[in-house]
Amino acid sequence: MTKTLVAFLLASFVLAFDVSAQGKKVYISVDMEGISGVVGDDQTSAGGAEYNRSRKLMAEDANAAIRGAFEGGAAEVVVNDSHGSQRNLLPEDLDPRARLISHSFKRHGMVEGLDESFDAVIFVGYHAKADSPRGLFAHTGSGVVKDVQVNGKSAGEGGLNTLMAQWYGVPVVMITGDDVAVEQQKEWTPGIRGVVVKRAINMRAVEGKSPAEARREIQAGAKESVAASRKVARERLAAYKVRMQLRNFTIPEVATAFREIQLVAPDTVEFTRDSMPDAYRIIRVLYRFINPD
């Protein structure tokens, strides 16, 4: 090894060490139903008349959170596209300082890539859980799920993703979405910063803030919550007992092919895992990767 190479390696090490000591690493999971300005079916699925417009709106709410995170002390931001195909965000539309995780073929879906190395998690564009009487496009995972319970507590996407963040010891510091999504998240993380970008009148109609105002609030909220974030101890339960009620009998019937999955009612299955990432992976397989037809 030459002296120059040794000096270079030493310099790289010092630089790498410096970055980790000074800047935070922030994880942003971005869904679409709770994005400012999104209100209709034709906006949330690829091929819908206004889909291309809503993916730009999604990128702008994400960018507001990214800007705020960097202002609040982030040195690194990773964005995970968490809606449907998970290929909604165009990399060219995102703040170039962030990295983007794309495509839905993931073990951990909405929290793919999250691990102990992060300092804070932000949920952008989230929605109410399945079977909520109010909340724009309320659902959990996909339309086939009626309810998911972990150790007896009903969890929407925000709840499940929070259990994953707790497993890794990373605090969830902010959520944006409609008022129902923000309220439901407070059952999991009482002190969380919530940015309500629209008020759900029912499951379809909303009273929305202007996207410009919503982004201003998202940026300010991300800045403050990232600056105030502190790593927390990993919260790992002895067991994760999952009960999933579906809206059909087909998925539970197929699921019984796996010995550890018990059919407890014609529409309901139960299983237990000793790690949340393992439990999350199975939940995702059940609602997403079994064709019920």
204 closest CA partner among 272, 122, 128: 128
Minimum CB distance to Zn ion smaller for 60 or for 157:
157
Q: Could you tell me whether strands 206-208 and 172-178 are parallel, antiparallel, or unpaired per DSSP bridges?
A: unpaired
* Smallest separation (angstroms) from Zn ion to the CB of 245: 18
Host H or E run for residue 147:
strand 145-150
Query: Is residue 179 at the binding interface for Zn ion, with CB under 5 A as the rule?
Result: no
Host H or E run for residue 80:
strand 74-81
> DSSP code of 258?
S
Is 83 noted as a catalytic residue in this protein?
no
Identify the sign of the CA torsion 75, 170, 94, 284: positive
Query: Is residue 31 at the binding interface for Zn ion, with CB under 5 A as the rule?
Result: yes
Q: Which window, 27-35, 47-55, 207-215, 241-249, contacts Zn ion (CB under 5 A)? A: 27-35
Q: Which window, 26-34, 63-71, 142-150, 207-215, contacts Zn ion (CB under 5 A)? A: 26-34
Phi, psi of 150 (to 5 degrees): -115, 120
Host H or E run for residue 13:
helix 3-22
Q: Are 102 and 89 in contact (CB under 8 A)?
A: yes
Measured CA to CA in angstroms, residue 150 lies from 64, 215, 243, 273 at distances of 32, 33, 7, 11
Minimum CB distance to Zn ion smaller for 31 or for 178:
31
Q: Could you tell me whether strands 262-265 and 268-273 are parallel, antiparallel, or unpaired per DSSP bridges?
A: antiparallel
Annotated active-site residue in 83, 103, 108, 139? 139
Residue ranges in 149-168 that form contacts with Zn ion under rule CB under 5 A: 157
Q: Which residue is nearest to Zn ion (CB)?
A: 31
165 closest CA partner among 202, 116, 206, 216: 116
Interface mask (CB under 5 A) for Zn ion, residues 245-274, using x and -?
Answer: ------------------------------
Minimum CB distance to Zn ion smaller for 130 or for 170:
130
Minimum CB distance to Zn ion smaller for 137 or for 271:
137
Minimum CB distance to Zn ion smaller for 81 or for 157:
157
* Smallest separation (angstroms) from Zn ion to the CB of 90: 19
Minimum CB distance to Zn ion smaller for 31 or for 81:
31
Q: How many residues bind Zn ion (CB under 5 A)?
A: 2
* Smallest separation (angstroms) from Zn ion to the CB of 126: 7
Both tokens of residue 220? 């300010």
Interface mask (CB under 5 A) for Zn ion, residues 192-231, using x and -?
Answer: ----------------------------------------
* Smallest separation (angstroms) from Zn ion to the CB of 123: 10
193 beta partners: 174
Distance from C-alpha of 153 to C-alpha of 177, rounded to nearest angstrom? 22
Which sequence positions are flagged as catalytic? 139
Contact set with Zn ion (CB under 5 A):
31, 157
